[in-house]
Amino acid sequence: MSAPAPLLWYGDDFTGASDTLAVLAQAGLRAVLFMGVPTAQQREQADRALGGALDAIGIAGHARSLSPETMGHELAPVANYFRASGCRVLHYKICSTFDSAPHMGSIGRALELLRSAAAHPFVPILGGQPSLGRYCAFSHLFAAAGAGGTIERIDRHPTMSRHPVTPMGEADLRRHLALQGLSPVAHWHLPSYHLNALEQDRHLRALLDQSPAGILMDVTEPAHLSDIGRMIWRAADASPLLAVGASSVAQALITHWPGRPGTLPSRSPDPASDHWPEQLLGPEPARPSMTSLAGTPSTPAPLAPARGPVLVFAGSLSPVTAAQVARARRFDTVALDARVLLETGEPSSRLQDQVFDNLMRARHTLAVTAPQAGQRPDTSVSSELARCTQEWIAQLLARLIDAGERPSRLGIVGGDTSSLAVRALPLWGLSYAGTLGLGVPLCRVHSEHRGLDGLELMLKGGQMGDEGVLDRLVDGHSPH
């Protein structure tokens, strides 16, 4: 039987779940993202594939695209698995822009379903991820508009304020979550980081005395994550804990990972001076050193060029994706009209034939539903288009495998499109293979299907990556 892992994370969509996989793997931790609650056999296969017991177990889900009424079927097995797993922290991984609404992907409903699996009263909700240009200050969320773009308040963000399914109309995340039934939400604001560790623990205890449904943590700089990581692990040592947020939760946990040196400095006082009750918090974790985690490269390893044809399907309609498509130079581009893809007859088949023939001639191919320059996207069909394309992509890939011409790399752009498309493929897990940029990992497929096993897969959210990211999927790159 596989040993318990300290961390179990559930991603409410595939692209976000794979980003957390990359964060953990780049820190030298053994992590696998499973396509559902893993079986004992799959855990053992994963241990063998990575050369040892897993440090973290991921479950790729799609709760972000579910209504509150249907989320129970998705999340109840996750809660049950966490109870039985021996894991100390359950990370409910959400989008760094808090994509959610009362009617779709409700974070409040998700926490209601998962809360019973974690006994500890501390439910940290990390509001920012600075590495991706996401900042939470005094409970208000700010986000960069594209890689290196200007920082905008989320309710004024040019994309997220107009999201076709879950537009962000409120920047105060306490109010945003209250609309989803999560109340009361206490707040950990920026001045609290100026306290030493003992004073922070006292402040946390005072917040927990109010019995909040969660504590929203401001995050505006990486150093804040070290303080959060210390508090989470100390609490989880006493009893299992539920944490909420983007991959910044994993970044925080890495700084004080049990049994390993951390990567960020700490302001811990003498542990003997701390008088937290043991039933609420465990012993003070060791002060992390300034050395990096064992096996952690200072920068991601270079990514080799693709060894064969590359297929990218861009189903996102975001301006960021449109700019990436316009910048791509290494592909033959096939424009897919959304209305044609939504049909089930001859027009859709002809488009698939065109892409198939291109790849059979070993030509890198970019199939894109994003609008052409000067055209406005039809956001009214976004959800139906994501559902429709899952079978279209699966059928195309099956045809290529049968013909002995599987692409060396497959890229799927768009959170909902990625989640649904991957669910249509017969694979049981993903491990980390490399990175194409911040928030854009390359994964290796694990499957019982020999034609799929080992395929390199990019799952990219519509807002992630710089303009040259698609060409790097072909050319590889050496990080600087």
CATH class entry, domain 7-273 = alpha beta
Question: Is the pLDDT confidence value at 265 over 60?
Answer: no
* Strand 140-144 to 310-314 pairing: unpaired
Domains 7-273 and 310-475 share a fold: no
The pLDDT-based confidence of 376 (bands split at 50, 70, 90) is: low
Average pLDDT over residues 206-216: 97
Rounded CA separation 366/382 (Å)? 19
pLDDT of residue 127: 97
pTM exceeds 0.85 for this model? no
The CATH code belonging to domain 310-475 is 3.40.980.20
Q: What does the DSSP assignment read for 75-104?
A: HHHHHHHHHHH--SEEEEE--TT---BTTB
Of the candidates 186, 128, 125, 180, which has an alpha carbon nearest to the alpha carbon of residue 154? 128
Give, in degrees to the nearest 5, the angle at Cα 177 between 385 and 423.
30
Q: How far is CA 324 from CA 321, 359, 440, in A?
A: 5, 21, 13
The pLDDT-based confidence of 204 (bands split at 50, 70, 90) is: very high
The rounded Cα 260 to chain-centroid distance in angstroms is: 23
User: Phi and psi at residue 175, in whole multiples of 5°?
Assistant: -70, -40
Domain ranges of the chain: 7-273, 310-475
Show Cβ contacts of residue 427 under 8 Å, excluding neighbours closer than 6 positions.
35, 445, 446, 447, 449, 452
Q: Note whether 469 and 460 are within 8 A (CB).
A: yes
Structure-token match 């270079």, residue found: 302
Rounded CA separation 469/372 (Å)? 19
The pLDDT-based confidence of 71 (bands split at 50, 70, 90) is: very high
Task: Provide the H-helix boundaries in 161-283.
Answer: 173-178, 197-208, 222-238, 248-254
Looking at residue 219, the DSSP 8-state letter turns out to be: B
Average pLDDT over residues 42-70: 94
